[in-house]
Amino acid sequence: MAVTPTTDIETIRDAQIVLVEALSPAKHSSVPFRVTRGEQDFLAWAEENPNACLRRFDIKEIDAGPPPEISNLTIEARRVMIEVTVAYPKMFGAYGSSSVRDAYDLIRSDRDLIDGRSGIGLNNSGGYVSGQWTCIRQEMEIEDDEESAVLFSSLTYQVDFYKAVAS
């Protein structure tokens, strides 16, 4: 009898962090993706430290999902929503001579890379952990508050996986 591999959202999240940190940006390649240290709220930290937040990111579970669709005494099928948020400081001329357009071009390039259009991102089965069977992007948005010193790019994904049932 075949054994179905299982995992948990923490293992998936940690693997996604490693995957994003390993990406090689096409634009402004000297600045890598770096996960937040998690010492305080990421968005608040980025707002307080705009000069240090370029490509700093966080990955978190935003919705634990509905009750399992499949469950037995040993495993259950889980569906959760995760959000990948990347910070970009609003710095005049930092991204090119057309500051706003160039900033949005950089964000778009990075989102495509994270999303897996390069074949190595989160939306590609090559980045899945054992027990996970999907990571499907649901939404993309850029938060551009006029009073903020930072642009935030957010990607929301549906993640499906088998989880071991605690005994």
CA nearest 21: which of 123, 124, 122? 122
Alpha helices (H) in the chain, listed in sequence order? 9-21, 42-48, 99-115
Calculate the average pLDDT of the chain: 88
pTM of the model: 0.90
Model confidence over 59-98: pLDDT tens digits? 999 988 788 877 788 899 999 999 999 999 988 777 777 7
More confident residue, 118 or 57: 57
In the predicted structure, residue 30 carries a pLDDT above the cut 80 = yes
Residues 6+ away with beta carbon under 8 Å from 2: none
CA nearest 74: which of 163, 159, 137? 163
Beta strands of the chain (E only): which ranges? 34-35, 56-63, 75-89, 132-143, 150-164
Q: Give residue 33's pLDDT.
A: 97
Q: Give residue 1's pLDDT.
A: 60
Q: Give residue 128's pLDDT.
A: 86
Average pLDDT over residues 3-22: 91
In the predicted structure, residue 119 carries a pLDDT above the cut 60 = no
Model confidence over 31-54: pLDDT tens digits? 999 999 888 899 999 999 999 999
Q: Give residue 120's pLDDT.
A: 58
Q: Give residue 49's pLDDT.
A: 94
